[in-house]
Structure 1
Amino acid sequence: MYLANKSHKPFFNSIRFKMIFIFMIFTIPLNAWLIINNNYAMQVVRNQVSQSNKNLVSLYMVLIDRTLEEADKYLYSMITLNTDLLNMELSQNNNNQQYYSAKIRLFNTMSKDINNYKSIDIFFAYSGTNEDLLITQNLSASYYEMEKIVDDIKRIFTDKQFFDNYDYDRWFIRQIDGNYFMCHIVKTGNVYIGAWANAENLMVPLNLVDLGQKGKAILITGSYDPMNNADFISENKINLAYEQNSYNLTGYDEKFLVVGEKSNRGNFSLTAVIPDSVILEKLPYLQKAVSLVSFSSVFIIVFVYLIFLRKVILSPLSRIITGMKNISKGDLEARITLHRTSSEFEFMNLTFNSMASQIQELKIEVYEEKINKQKAELKHLQLQINPHFFLNSLHVIYQLAQVKDFNLIQEMSICLIEYFRFMFRSNLTFVILEEEVKHTRNYLKIQEMRFPDHLTYNISVLDYLMKYMIPPLLIQTFVENSIKHGMTLDDPIHICIDVGLGGTLANPMIKISVYDTGKGFPEDILQQLQLEIGTVNELGEHIGIWNVQQRLRLLYNEQAEITFSNRPDGGASVEIGVPLKIKY
């Protein structure tokens, strides 16, 4: 029934008729109009150019507003979901540890999240209770420039009258040494969180827009002051005031057409300044060509246009629509059959097929990534307390109790207490090297009591490095790996730990070497470790090494290094290098 009704729809409702009708309505009157009225044509050209650039400016204004809106959503989500902001309201004098722990976590969160906002230069949080400013940055500014920005942000919070009339839903403008910046601050309790962006960075997408040799895209304040290209505006005496639904023709020696669009996120606008000479330079030649061609070609164009419409537009468009419908129904295997057609539609067909394949692959990858993430989180929790290690240690104590070796029972108990005390606080981002070495030595004592005459070790550390910071469990993880995979009941194992200074004078590093006399890494596992390919299997083996690799990447980016090898005389070797970090 639906198909029958569809087949009886009148012809004038088809796209063929509509395109022919629009073509006839606009083409014939336009040709006659261009021949008769030269002066009016200039005005029309200006209107068309202004409207075109108005739409372009509106589009890019939407993009800028969307960028600022994404930052706003992040600020509001932080206020709603991040409990560390609430702890920033505590007095640092009365709640010192809780306050600074929240501050560190908040810094790490914002430092990580700011990488997702390329146009945002700074995220900051301010504790009104403690008059304490926390800043994370995403720009390569000089120390002097950064100091100026920080001082300006502080001035905002020390200005008691600023927030009396401040609209917390909108961005405002700050000027520093002739440079303009956008800022937005939201508040929860006595804690403020905000975003800071350089106006020049928001203009980066507009660098690709062609507005002519002298054309400019300019951000302006609510009082029509330019935020960029101020010298150009001053030299040409351009008035940037514009009407919302029209254009402004301004300038001294040379005229410029100005169109603009206001932002919905703050008291500023985006304008396009186009030289009038560029708009009109080809108008006389165009008028002559239209006058000559219009009468001779109007009848031929209709016939050619119908053939062209079907072959070049309607058929390829129909294939694309069919493919889109199949995708919307969930058929991710749907593809457009390639036919000989215009290059634009060939590109659209190839792009459609490529996007459909990417969507299909992405859906699978997202599902697999979700599963892997859940497994990794579960294994990470399991690393906190190894139940087999705990039960085996209790069994050793039980055996010692049977033979009434109370001295060893006491020593074993003390070692277990120290071991689990460290493990329960291993969620810290950094510990001092001295604590990590002490924990590793304690772990080796426990294993030595579990496997007497099968395990020996020595630890060599430079004393002056003991107060520097490293991630927790950095050494113990690889010691545990050596015992787990390298020790057998037939052959004893010896583990060596050396900690020294490496790197260069400009970039000194703590160099940690852990090697043993065991059987070494299997070749396939060694190759995966060297290429940083995940080696965690379903049993959770090597998850500790994976954990260390991920933490080093998150904490140091590309500044940390870790290498794996097998020693020529047997045994596995791990070399770790981390930047020197003083205890804070």
Structure 2
Amino acid sequence: MGMMKQIFNSLMFKLFLAIFLIIGPLIIVHIINNYYANEVIRNQVAQSNKNMLNIYMDQIDKSLEGVGNYIFQLSANTDLYFLQYHENFDLNDYEEAKIRLFNSINNQSYFYTAIDSIFLYSSSYKDFFNTKKNDVNFSERMNATEEIHALLENKSENLIEGKWNLWKGKKNYYLLYYLNIDGVYVGAWVNMNNLIKPFKYIDFGETGRAMLATSELHPITNKDFIEDEKIDLTVKGNKFAIVGEKERFVAMKERSTVGDFYFLALIPESEILDKLPFLQRISSIISIGAVLFLFLFIFIMRKVFLQPINQIVSAMKKLRQGNMEIRVPMKRNSTEFEVMNGTFNHMISEIRDLKINVYEEKLNLQRAELKHLQLQINPHFFLNSLNIIYNLATVKEFTIIQEMSKCLANYFRFMFSSNSYFVSLEDELKHTENYLKIQQLRFPDSINFNIESPSELIKCNIPPLVIQTIAENSIKHAFHMDEPINIHITVKKDCEDSSFMEIIIQDTGEGFPEEVLRSLEIDDPLTTQKGERIGLWNVKRRLNLLYDGITSIHFSNEHGKGATVRIRLPI
């Protein structure tokens, strides 16, 4: 008896009963109406999707024609002459021509997204090379490359030159286009599965499909689906046909003008809906009935559903404002809301008890992360410095060895003694100067630097290793042996707000690459598998943790000065 009462009092039962009483009559009316609507909607949907198929097939054909035109233009490239065998050719001429051709087709491949690869094959040198798309599976690309290589090598009679050939590989169907220029094959191919990918997002219903088929209407894609549904793709007529045994589909097709394949659409007949004149004649009756049912529905929902929810929402708003004493009144209500209100009240009590522990744990995690970021040391710098000392000892440059050893000792003394989150600006600048002196000893006459700072700021505290890390980044990415690099470090008071200082680090290198500047602007971690450029992200992360957003760091390229980093810190 108690269980039955709980079920009848549950929110699910009340909602089900209310919806059934309100929607039930409307469902009966619409079932009768839909019986008359099937044929009308079938024709309308078929015509609409037939037009859509024409548009998409035209897009595919134009894309393939564009690739074919490019292959034809490429066949006139004079570098192809060097891929043919001639006894008087220098091998260097062949390699240079090969590089130029590869760069040409690789750059052009980005404009033809419909294809998988553009290739060149020299039958004289047995040399096959092609472009690659990053989104194509490696094993799939290698299988296609090997099979196409074998086709060209064996000169398959089934392939027609200057035409998009539908070719069945070991695992997939492909479209292949090629031209033969005196033993040098120039062409392109596309996996049919990739050709259909852009059309998978077209809404053909839950079980509908867009697919490709051969000129004999054998399925190229969705083979398992066609077999499971027992669908005959032999669509008779130009408009549409009804196919399928398990589920009925409206099928339409469109043939490609440049390749021997069809583009088909299968739309579930069960999902086709439309409005018929009969619906228009009874729409007024349905509208009046819907209004009456709506008022009844609103009244029931307000009593059973909305009022209890509003109580919980009101309590949540007060909780968000910091009122930890708020409680939801325990009134007689639906079983679900009684459980929800009790759980909510218990949750508030738990939150109040756990709040302090959560804050303390968060602070501990931030301290641990900050310490980890602060103590990162580049092992390559240490090993390279020891290697230089060894080489200097070999040539008996004892004076330079003494200076290098002294600088290294000061460098690592600072690194291992920086246990606090802040050091004085004076210590940080001395450490940076010491690091740059080490680099000068490593690369004589190649690195110049100057550091400017007003005396009233040198006792101010800043995070350790901020300036040195950015200077190190300039050495790592802007320095090369062809010409010397100049690094300028300037510290001054901020012009707009005297309670802030501005630290400017500039070098005379080539500046930051555009992709790096974009990543720094959106705060994207600059890390690779080798850990490259981790220092810049390290600096940004530490500043965020220590100053909680009141500081700023800006990266830019200034004309004639190279990379520039501006850091704004409170004094």
Q: Considering the TM-score relative to the shorter chain, is it more than 0.5?
A: no
TM-score (norm 1): 0.44
User: Which structure's relative contact order is higher, taking Cα pairs within 8 Å and 6+ residues apart?
Assistant: 2
